[in-house]
Structure 1
């Protein structure tokens, strides 16, 4: 699963400057729009027909633009920024981390799969209520993942004698 995170980082072309910008809470919180927007874009085939592919393409563009859109944050002393910093540590220093952090990251990544599968089926069926439920089921583990990345970041800072805003 860690390899999947690394692949995602490569596909997104996340260099150090992009990670810094992504640590801006505006970037983190605005990314929470991606799954609902993607579901809406696919659902829009009802109104837009084949033009719904354009809506899907715009959402995918948003996925790539988002971590580059905002400036580096003035402070890293907030939940969203620490979650991004924890994610970087997971990607860069996975071999140094306690197993429980890696297990939780993998487990929460996998925990989104049922919600995503349900979302695909609900979109196929055009069941709006089920789509909303599926998006919530898929996003819940992602939010929990960010919270775990805060914990990972705090543990890493403590183990390396750093203050939470130093890394």
Structure 2
């Protein structure tokens, strides 16, 4: 089982749940959560340990979001295709994905990881420049990753 498949399982993304997560409302409301998490973590300087309340709410939101919305009326949009491409990628052990996607996806995953590390350091040390650089790196590499997932979806949809 791939790491992505394990992560998908942790978010209850199995079977029809992928279609619910392919709803643009699910995709974009989840995608927009990062600044709120950053603000919640940063708020520890103003509200102390009470910052754990919004952080907890946001983590719960990230967990339930993929299954909260209805299946979309159409899958003919960039966001839905990106989620379904992620499904193909997560299940690549069962249905192989073309090899030319492996290296770019690995590079983009590494970039996202680097962005998360920079972001965490920025939040830990309360360094606004590190926090912003980390967030921008995470967002840009995630968008590029999702665009690659659209490409995977387009190549795999007829299989």
TM-score, length of structure 1 as denominator length: 0.86
Structure 1: how far apart are the matches of 2:6 and 2:107? 17
SS at match of 1:27: helix
1:9 aligns with 2:8: yes
Distance 1:127 1:116 in 2: 14
Query: Which residue of structure 2 lines up, in the alignment, with residue 99 of structure 1?
Result: 99
CA distance in 2, matches of 1:107, 1:62: 28
Aligned-residue offset at 1:88: 0.7
Q: CA deviation at 1:34?
A: 2.5
Alignment of 1:62 with 2:38, yes or no, is no
User: Take 2:105 and 2:39, find their aligned partners in 1: how far apart are those partners?
Assistant: 28
Higher helix share: 1
In the alignment, what sits opposite 1:28?
Answer: 27
What do the CA deviations read for 1:59-98 (whole angstroms, capped 9, x no partner)?
Answer: 1011012112211100000100011111111112345222
Q: Which runs of 5+ in 1 are unaligned?
A: 161-167
Which stretches in structure 2 are left out of the alignment for 5+ residues? Answer: none
Q: Structure 1: how far apart are the matches of 2:102 and 2:127?
A: 35
TM-score (normalised: structure 2): 0.90
Aligned residues: 158
